[in-house]
Amino acid sequence: MWRGPELAHSRVWEWHLAPAQLDELDTALHAVRVRGTPLLRITADRFPLPALASQLAGVADELENGRGFVLVRRVPVGRFGPATAAVLLWGLGRHLGIPVSQNATGHMLGHIADPHEVRAARPFHTDEADTLALLCLRNDSGAGRAALASSAAVHNTVLARRPDLVDGLYRTHFLDRLGEQAPGQRPCNAVPLAHHAPERFSLRYDRHRLESAQRFPDVPRLTPGDLELFDRIDESAADPELRLDLDLAPGDLLLVNNHAVLHSLTAPADTTGPGPRFHALRLWLTPHRPRELPPDFWGDAHSLDGGRGGVAPRDVITPQSPTTRKPHDRPVRTPGPIRPVPR
Determine the Cα–Cα distance for residues 175 and 251; give it in Å rounded to an integer: 33
pLDDT of residue 327: 37
For 157-200, how does the pLDDT look when each residue is reduced to its tens digit (9 = 90+)?
999 999 999 999 999 999 999 999 888 889 999 999 999 988 89
Quickly state the pLDDT bin for 322 (edges 50, 70, 90): very low
pLDDT of residue 275: 64
The residues that bridge with 139 in the sheet, in sequence order, are 278
Tell me whether strands 194-197 and 261-266 are parallel, antiparallel or unpaired: unpaired
For 251-305, how does the pLDDT look when each residue is reduced to its tens digit (9 = 90+)?
999 999 999 999 998 755 555 566 677 899 999 999 999 999 998 888 766 665 6
pLDDT of residue 238: 97
The rounded percent of the chain whose pLDDT value lies above 70 is 84
For 45-100, how does the pLDDT look when each residue is reduced to its tens digit (9 = 90+)?
999 999 999 999 999 999 999 999 999 999 999 888 899 999 999 999 999 999 99
Q: What are phi and psi of 85, to 5 degrees?
A: -60, -35
Q: What are phi and psi of 124, to 5 degrees?
A: -50, 130
